[in-house]
Chain A
């Protein structure tokens, strides 16, 4: 008797709750023309107002790209001007004259000057520990402002790609800005309207020098869980979701949402350190590269939404060569392992994590694929809290991650002897010297060719197995147009996106 009462009571309670929730959907759930609601990748707890730090949250970087001017941006045909109108080297390629626009102003009315630019670049350099030494190629102490809108930048070595080095992350703040616990004044296409780092509302800055943004307001939220980002668009609480999982993208496409592909930007390379056994033997590396089943990995981890990469680390880079043909050849792999002295088997531990969707699946698949070649792999899934500090650039055999940054950036961060995270101990055998030669080459087509050759050499002899590059998949409601589709930081620049009235 009383049990029935209890069940009835519970049911009534639930019904009352549901009824309370069944009130008409509020204004938040229907998009408005002129406003874009973007669910971006980011952990709300680590959201930051500092545009010169690590930019670990995409939601932050995207907000900064709207609040602040940057010197240059990546374009279809290479670097394009933004706040910097020209960058001209001297004969030695170490002394660059940067001309700035003279019509850029901060939202407090002050003009943007060379002093502000130099202050911002120096601040980025001070925070090198956090941003992987993004300004490492410059000698900023020796650089100087040569007037209101002219800057002299000194590079440490001949460096032909200064335009590219100043792309995307060079957020300019007023000289002397000190407190970054709150948003600092900017001069970009939008300004801070309300909210905070983890969920911000930005309003159009009508005084911006550039093309007038079609949108009046952009809301950017940090949402860590990819499924929650996809659900936000599916349930009408957001217009765009950045970087969703292939499976969620497929489902959403069937429900009539649009999937924007950013081609070949996500790679989970298998890392083999050249200075540790058994990977110091090139025959072992070659055997592993021959034994993996790249098509199966592409189909399973990225659901086929990507391209085979032939071990090119940055296949989306404009200077990337044709990928080397890599066909699976277990017989040859076994032969090579026998030659290297591992005829009766090779036991390895492969570390992976769950930081990005499919990293753990990739490791499990690779373990299964290498078994017929006589390599016995134990997969060790390390929590993502400690993966980037304990495994990344420390261990000899693990699954790494790259999110579509340019070849030059990867080289600076991970491929040269003085790189902060040279995870495969690469750069010997004259490669680093040839890299410097390429950067000292004035002729652009010739330089691109040299850079392509360097990438090919890394693919053939290096310690990276790059089986495929997955597409970046962004989800959008119908009516959103002009979302960026390019590689790397291009995805941050959404100031020209439009939303048609629905």
Chain B
């Protein structure tokens, strides 16, 4: 029991550091840089060198990483290399929109995920459940989004085809705008998460005392909540954290389809323009969600043990 918390925290810190280094390096090895993106092929070597020096894009990669990391530790996420705006502003503008959308998607995805994994982890579906989930999870978001738009806006005319956020009002100002983007995110995410969790569910359902409960004719929901769930907390939290992290950073496709400006669009555009400080900030945000969930799962398991 003692030592669980520091250990979980240390592990989380290590993972975040690894993510920061990894993302920095990957962005660095991509061809081109922000100076080229900013001048769109219209600048000579001297001008490019000046631009790089001005915005701290020169010097070896470890030095740039150290500069960025040191500034971040002092609470300064830097400025965009593309439009000179503070990264904190860029993130802050989009965070409410993304959090709102992610929350709506989770409200749908989490119960669905648990139900699906219970079904797929059962005896009846053992043979084909995993395959079915994998098939659903493999449907690209863009297809889900297009299908949802076709049904709810095209055929039924219930919901708007795009979701332009109101300017100067909170994102939940108009709930109708959130339904289709949230559904498009939630369905594949739930299938993916259920695929991750169904193995653990199957193991738990095969345990003697659970089996025994089934044989004694205890209602299914009681078995699920009483006997199985306590053993599933840790993996469930971990899976939900992974999905939530994905919803923070990887919602680009849905955002593009619906014209919804969130962090996903910011991440992809920033990768495209090699805007390292912005890429780092968004990637770390997603990683913080995943890692926090992992740490909570560790604690849940550790405390139970």
Contacts and interface: CB of A to CB of B under 8 A. Distances in A.
A25 to B, nearest CB: 7
A384 B258 CA distance: 21
A376 B31 CA distance: 29
A54 B42 CA distance: 10
A197 B89 CA distance: 11
A228 B176 contact: no
A421 interface: yes
Interface stretch (A41-49, A146-154, A260-268, A488-496): A41-49
A232 B43 contact: no
A21 B43 contact: no
A394 to B, nearest CB: 8
Contact of A196 (B48, B93, B153): B93
Interface string A117-159: 0000000000011111100000000000000000000000000
A231 B42 contact: no
B83 A49 contact: yes
Given A6-B119, A29-B160, A50 B41 contact: no
B85 A13 contact: no
Interface in B73-108: 79, 82-86, 89-90, 93, 108
Contacts of B44: 129, 420
Q: Is the interface of B mostly helix, strand, loop or mixed?
A: helix
A2 B220 contact: yes
Contacts of A388: 40-41
Given A45-B265, A129-B48, A386-B31, A18 B179 contact: yes
Contacts of B116: 6
A49 B89 CA distance: 13
Interface residues of A, number: 71
A186 to B, nearest CB: 18
A403 interface: no
A199 B41 CA distance: 27
Residue among A25, A28, A132, A420 facing the most chain B CB atoms (10 A cut-off): A28
Given A130-B39, A228-B256, A421-B41, A194 B85 contact: no
Interface string B255-291: 0111101000110111111010010000000000000
Contacts of A132: 42
A6 B113 CA distance: 11
Interface of A: 2-3, 6, 9-10, 13-14, 17-18, 20-23, 25-26, 28-29, 39, 43-50, 53-54, 56, 128-133, 180-181, 194-201, 219, 221, 223-225, 228-229, 231-232, 234-238, 384-386, 388-390, 392-394, 413, 420-421
Interface of B: 31-32, 36-44, 47-48, 50-51, 79, 82-86, 89-90, 93, 108, 111-112, 115-116, 118-119, 122, 124, 152-153, 158-162, 164-168, 173-176, 178-180, 182-183, 220, 256-259, 261, 265-266, 268-273, 275, 278
Given A43-B269, A48-B82, A238-B164, 14 more contacts: A3-B124, A6-B115, A17-B108, A21-B176, A29-B160, A39-B259, A44-B265, A48-B84, A129-B43, A130-B42, A130-B43, A385-B32, A389-B37, A389-B40
